Amino acid sequence: QVQLQESGPGLVKPSETLSLTCTVSGGSISGYYWSWIRQPPGKGLEWIGYIYYSGTTKHNPSLESRVTISVDTSKNQFSLKLSSVTAADTAVYYCARHGSRASSSPYDYWGQGTLITVSS
Amino acid sequence: DTQMTQSPSSVSASVGDRVTITCRASQGIDNWLAWYHQKPGKAPKLLISSASTLQSGVPSRFSGSGSGTFFTLTISSLQPEDFATYYCQQTNSFPWTFGQGTKVEIK
């Protein structure tokens, strides 16, 4: 059974960089696309971006150039960095796997999510 | 961006009721449409992909249909575990986008 687990600090100061890691267990990170999705408290879902195990990435233009997604296949992990954060970036952040080994396939496995609060 | 609009925003229903949720795309997305449901404090769970393909382990009371710009999710006989918020998502064009959600509540 594939499992995903997000990890990172729960509190980030405004203007700083949010850093999260997703650790994949029960399966290999190879051969799949992996995404980050976020959900502000009480609101809907927003796709942040994805990475292929080979390192190819795509991200949401709404986040401009603040997003960096990377992968470490040796650790079966992928990571998110979001720079220059503001209170608007406060959200539950999820990592997820695209099913069917295609970038356009929806997410069949999700992490439990981690709440990131941006506050001084 | 492709805007996804769900209707209704919320619905009150009883166990055993038939419930239909619609999702409309601002431009054609073929059948690149998925449905999820989400319970409070939990991650979303994939129910349907490619507009109508039921995921393994998902009860057959769930069904999806549509193509192009109009899609529906139907729960044929609502069960207690189905009370949740439902989201559609398009993966036809970047950025992938979700509907705003439909909350299915107990009447």
Give the count of alpha carbons within 13 A of B65, CB side only. 4
A109 DSSP β-pair partners? A97
B52 has a pLDDT exceeding 80: yes
Task: Please indicate if any CB of chain B lies within 8 Å of the CB of A56.
Answer: no
Give the per-residue pLDDT at B92. Answer: 96
A102 pLDDT band (50/70/90 cuts)? confident
Determine the 3-state secondary structure of A11 from DSSP.
Answer: strand
Rounded to 5 degrees, what angle do the CA atoms B64, B70, B75 make? 30
| Cβ contact, residue pair A106, B100, below 8 Å | no
CA-CA distance, A116 to B87, in Å (whole number)? 22
pLDDT interval class at A101 (50, 70, 90): confident
A90 CA: distance to closest CA in chain B (Å): 16
Length of chain B: 107
Q: Which residues of B touch A (CB under 8 A)?
A: 1, 32, 34, 36, 42-46, 49, 55, 87, 89, 91-92, 94-101
On the question of pLDDT at B66 being above 80, the answer is yes
The tens digit of pLDDT for each residue in B68-84 reads 999 999 999 999 999 99
Q: Please provide the DSSP assignment of B87-100 as one string.
A: EEEE-SSSSPEE--
What's the confidence (pLDDT) of residue A64? Answer: 72
Residue A58 touches partner B, C-beta closer than 8 Å = yes
Asked if residue A19 has pLDDT above 80, the reply is yes
Nearest residue of B to residue A95, measured between CA atoms: B43
pLDDT of residue B33: 98
